C-alpha cells in the first residue's frame, strides 16, 4: 500500500452558487470516492477546507524572519478546497478513485513520503 494525499481544487463560486440538487451531486461523488478507497485501501483522514481567503501563509525563513501574509500559496481562480489522506495499492488506484470526485474539481495526487531520520513525536 502507498499513502497519498489527494488535494482537490475548485472555484469557490461554483459551490456558493450551487443548487441543493448540485450539492447532493457533490456529496454523492464524495461518497463514491470514499467507498472506492474503503474497498481498495484505507482512508486515514480527510476534510474540506475553509476558503483560501481565510488562509495564512508563512514565507520561508526562521522564527520571526518568516513573513506572515494573508492568503494562500498562490492566488488562482481555483483554490485548494479539501483533502483526503488515503492508502491505496498504487497510482492507478488513486487515479481511479480521483475520477469519482465531483467533476468540477481539479485533483492533485501527491505521494506521502517518510523523511529519513525524522520520527514524528
Partner 1 sequence: MTADEVLAAAVRDEWGRLVALLLGQFRRLDLVEDALGDAVEAAARRWSRDGVPDRPTAWLLTAARRRVLDRLRAEAMAARKAPLLVVDAERPGGGAMADPGDLVEDDQLRLVLLCCHPALAPEVASALALRLVVGVTTADIARLFLVPEATMAARITRGKKKIVAAGIPYGVPGADELPGRLRTVAQVGYLAFTAGYAPGSGPDLLRADLAGAAVGLVRVTLGMRPGEPVLRALLALMLLQHARRDARVGADGSLVLLPDQDRSLWRADEVAEGLTLLSELAPGPDPLVESYRLQAVVAAAHVTAPTADATRWDLVCDAYAALERVNPSPAVRLAAAVAVAERDGPAGGLAALQGLDEALPGSHRVPAVRGELLARLGRDAEAAEALDLAVARCGNEVERAHLEARRAGLSAAGGR
40 touches partner 1 (CB under 8 A): no
42 touches partner 1 (CB under 8 A): no
- Choosing from 68, 113, 115, 121, the residue that interacts with partner 1 (CB under 8 A) is 113
109 touches partner 1 (CB under 8 A): yes
91 touches partner 1 (CB under 8 A): yes
- Choosing from 94, 98, 100, 107, the residue that interacts with partner 1 (CB under 8 A) is 94
- The DSSP string of the chain is -EEEEEEEEE-HHHHHT--HHHHHHHHHHHHHHHHHHHHHSEEEEEEE---GGG-EEE-SSSGGGSPEEES-SS--SSEEEEEEEEEESSHHHHHHHHTTS-TT-EEEEEE--PPTT----
x/- site string to partner 1, residues 3 to 32, per CB under 8 A?
A: -x----------------------------
89 touches partner 1 (CB under 8 A): yes
Nearer of residues 2 and 104 to partner 1, judged by Cβ: 2
For residues 34 and 100, give the distance between their C-alpha atoms in angstroms, rounded to a whole number.
9
Nearer of residues 48 and 111 to partner 1, judged by Cβ: 111
| Sign of the alpha-carbon dihedral angle for 72, 78, 79, 85 | negative
Amino acid at each position: 500500500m502507498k499513502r497519498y494525499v489527494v488535494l482537490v481544487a475548485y472555484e469557490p463560486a461554483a459551490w456558493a452558487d450551487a443548487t441543493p440538487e448540485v450539492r447532493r451531486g457533490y456529496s454523492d461523488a464524495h461518497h463514491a470516492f470514499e467507498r472506492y478507497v474503503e474497498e481498495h485501501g484505507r482512508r486515514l483522514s480527510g476534510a474540506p477546507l475553509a476558503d483560501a481567503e481565510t488562509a495564512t501563509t508563512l514565507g520561508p525563513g526562521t522564527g520571526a524572519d518568516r513573513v506572515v501574509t494573508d492568503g494562500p500559496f498562490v492566488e488562482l481562480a481555483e483554490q485548494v478546497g479539501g483533502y483526503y489522506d488515503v492508502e491505496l495499492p498504487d497510482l492507478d488506484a488513486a487515479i481511479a478513485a480521483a475520477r469519482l470526485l465531483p467533476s468540477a474539481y481539479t485533483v492533485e495526487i501527491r505521494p506521502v513520503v517518510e523523511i529519513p531520520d525524522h520520527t514524528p513525536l
